[in-house]
Structure 1
């Protein structure tokens, strides 16, 4: 006689309690929510919105060197791999003060592999063994540290500030500690590097937050692009003006503002986020920072904007809102020429207006940033 098949039982699916549901979406009772693609604390890929135009992909893809796993192994970038080995040899040219020799150094570095893998897209790093991944990060880190301390090729600098082409500063911290028994000099090297190789060529000033050097906060920059943003934001408007909650979406174009009597002047401060309105002898003036626009700075601004789109940390909207303000001010070639004549815009590109107008930067704009400026301008009497 055939045996009766065992009855299949179905466990009832229980709805989560209110507490479980809240924990799943908020940081409740000390438990962290799941932060997938939107986290500042992971190195992201550029949003597809920015890659809609084939010719704009050049602003996000490295041209000379790959850093990290996203572009590693591409034929175009392979010639630089041999220079990474040279850079590693030069970086560790003297390590007699480090116990265990190179074997010991690399063994300690490799202990970070699991933590570093968590900072990248899981699907990308899943294709790389721990050995391959650790060796790649070690060589890339030595390459970055060697080059930020020496004269740089401009295209390499450009590749170091692409959202998808980054190493966590954790890698640089670890290598500096292994090489010099301390990483105290790293932040100073990074500040000097960004100042001389990025900010000065853009014609901009910067601010170094005190907490970055005291180590009193847990939100140190994740990578070089994040450090660049930190220095750009400084202590200047990066958050919405709380007094001015009106959603005034834009400034209007340069020529439109000129028609109602607003004049333009270059700001003395040099901070990218410094946009001010003033009245002088009853004449309204809009003060804007001077900025150099070329192929490299376009890439840096776009990658800063895409970094903000990928971040779920409210790190300030000063940079992206400034770019949105430029987008609003620049509609046509005559707007560009007017800003150029005032020493506000310096560019070596054709069709600058078209470049700004097609970017999807409104997605990361806070309309009440620079709220005070917009209120003053909208209260001006309209010319008849």
Structure 2
């Protein structure tokens, strides 16, 4: 766009327009034959030649806001628009995200919004942030000074230089970044610093819980590194899926502290000791009960969930310890394999079993099973044996993060989800919770049985669960088959109505005796009539 700022240039421009109109009307005019063109200044002649090369209508006189005229030049081939450039940039980013290497080591996920809705406190840390997802949040910065204290204590105790830890994490930075979902905006130095600081803080907590914080050099009245009430809140934050650190970095840094960089498995064992208060069961087993349990499962040695040393992070290690087992039953395929080879889980088929009240009406009994594995449920001869489950204020957050990990991680079974869905089907009301509590199956520290029922009914609201991949599918099929047998329901109804209390039993016996006497009297009266003496 060429702006016209003086009257002389405007006059030359008007002459140029007149010449163009003459050319358009067919008047034969050449630069050499134009009398007035000989006296044109050189600049005006160049302007005339430039304008004659453009089509008529490609120039417009546009009034500017300040009252001056300007020339708008419309190009026939405009440059590539910003819209097209942005689309190409997005496609390039999609190509990078679609690379196989970016998904292979992903194990620490962001919670999907459909799972997080209504349960924000169960997924968002309240005291301490670990990893990049919640790094730098204002309300979590208070813990940073204690992280630096932990790092300083480690360096003082081991006489190590900080560069030893920074270099160790720097070597595996790319591998650590691949563990997290999406791009991490932190620079290389910021990411390495965050990893060293957070990992050393976690290791100090683990070692302090196992060896004693006093042995590590912390005073007994330390606000963080002491077994105070705030430790429970810290544990609950550290078990969240978005607050995890790669286990191999924890192993690497602890190995440097202990003088054995290649050691593995120590952090996993420290993890179980630290998170033991969050276990959803505290059923004590005697030695004889343990031997009977192991013999019933078909193996005589204790199963070690950490023997393969394949943990991804602390939440994964904790989940493996919950699911320690020998042989597990194969899931029952309820639908023909050929009909749905790799189908999407159907939200309509998540009903594994009926509720407690309905099962009791069908004659099914409930008993507590003596085992420390809360998921190990058995059914035989109309008796459903369920291990004891302890519910406290951290159970909701624990189960939600375990379920979210199973929903997000492809190489992960859905055993915790199967158990929670099964219990959700059993519990429909506070009466169901009350009866399970009466049987010793559920023990809770919440305000009422109604809160426990609401907890289970809300845990799997947005969870899509495949009933065919549940380890409880075969057991549920056996229970439903027993439930659908009418004779079992009739027998249960008879027992409930006439054998519910001692007075009902006495009344029933008296009625039966009276009926027998009446039948005998009738028999002898008819017999004497036809066979008199």
Global fold match (TM > 0.5): yes
Q: Distance in 2 between matches of 1:155 and 1:353?
A: 24
Check the 8 A contact 1:288/1:344 in 2, yes or no.
yes
Other structure's SS at 2:475 match: helix
Partner of 1:213: 307
Q: Distance in 2 between matches of 1:275 and 1:211?
A: 20
With the length of structure 2 as denominator, give the TM-score of the two structures: 0.58
Q: Which piece of structure 1 moves more, 114-123 or 156-165?
A: 114-123
Partner of 1:369: 471
Partner of 1:70: 133
Partner of 1:34: 100
Q: Which has the larger radius of gyration?
A: 2
Q: Which piece of structure 1 moves more, 59-68 or 184-193?
A: 184-193
Partner of 1:318: 415
Partner of 2:376: 274
Other structure's SS at 2:380 match: strand
Other structure's SS at 1:270 match: coil
Superposed, 1:190-229 pairs within 5 Å as 190-194=271-275, 196-199=276-279, 202-203=281-282, 210=304, 212-213=306-307, 215=309, 220-229=310-319
Structure 1 307/214 Cα, relative in aligned 2: closer, same or farther at 3 Å? closer
Q: Which piece of structure 1 moves more, 87-96 or 201-210?
A: 201-210
Check the 8 A contact 1:68/1:137 in 2, yes or no.
yes
Partner of 1:287: 385
Partner of 2:177: 117
Q: Distance in 1 between matches of 2:105 and 2:145?
A: 32
Other structure's SS at 1:140 match: helix
Q: Distance in 1 between matches of 2:427 and 2:99?
A: 41
**Pairing partner for 2:453 from 330, 344, 353:** 353
With the length of structure 1 as denominator, give the TM-score of the two structures: 0.79
Structure 1 132/239 Cα, relative in aligned 2: closer, same or farther at 3 Å? farther
Structure 1 288/372 Cα, relative in aligned 2: closer, same or farther at 3 Å? same
Deviation at 1:335, TM superposition (A): 0.7
Partner of 2:320: 230
Other structure's SS at 1:122 match: coil
Partner of 1:246: 334
Q: Distance in 2 between matches of 1:328 and 1:192?
A: 32
Q: Distance in 1 between matches of 2:101 and 2:284?
A: 33
Structure 1 132/34 Cα, relative in aligned 2: closer, same or farther at 3 Å? same
Q: Larger % of helix: which?
A: 2
Gapped regions of structure 2 (runs ≥ 5)? 1-52, 54-94, 210-226, 286-300, 336-348, 491-533
Structure 1 40/202 Cα, relative in aligned 2: closer, same or farther at 3 Å? farther
Q: Which has the higher contact order (CA 8 A, sep 6+)?
A: 1
Structure 1 41/90 Cα, relative in aligned 2: closer, same or farther at 3 Å? same
Structure 1 312/33 Cα, relative in aligned 2: closer, same or farther at 3 Å? farther
Could you list the per-position Cα deviations for residues 4-29 of structure 1 after superposition, in whole angstroms to 9, with x for gaps in the alignment?
xxxxxxxxxxxxxxxxxxxx9xxxxx
CA RMSD for the aligned pairs?
3.0
Partner of 2:70: none
Q: Distance in 1 between matches of 2:445 and 2:305?
A: 37
Partner of 2:269: 188
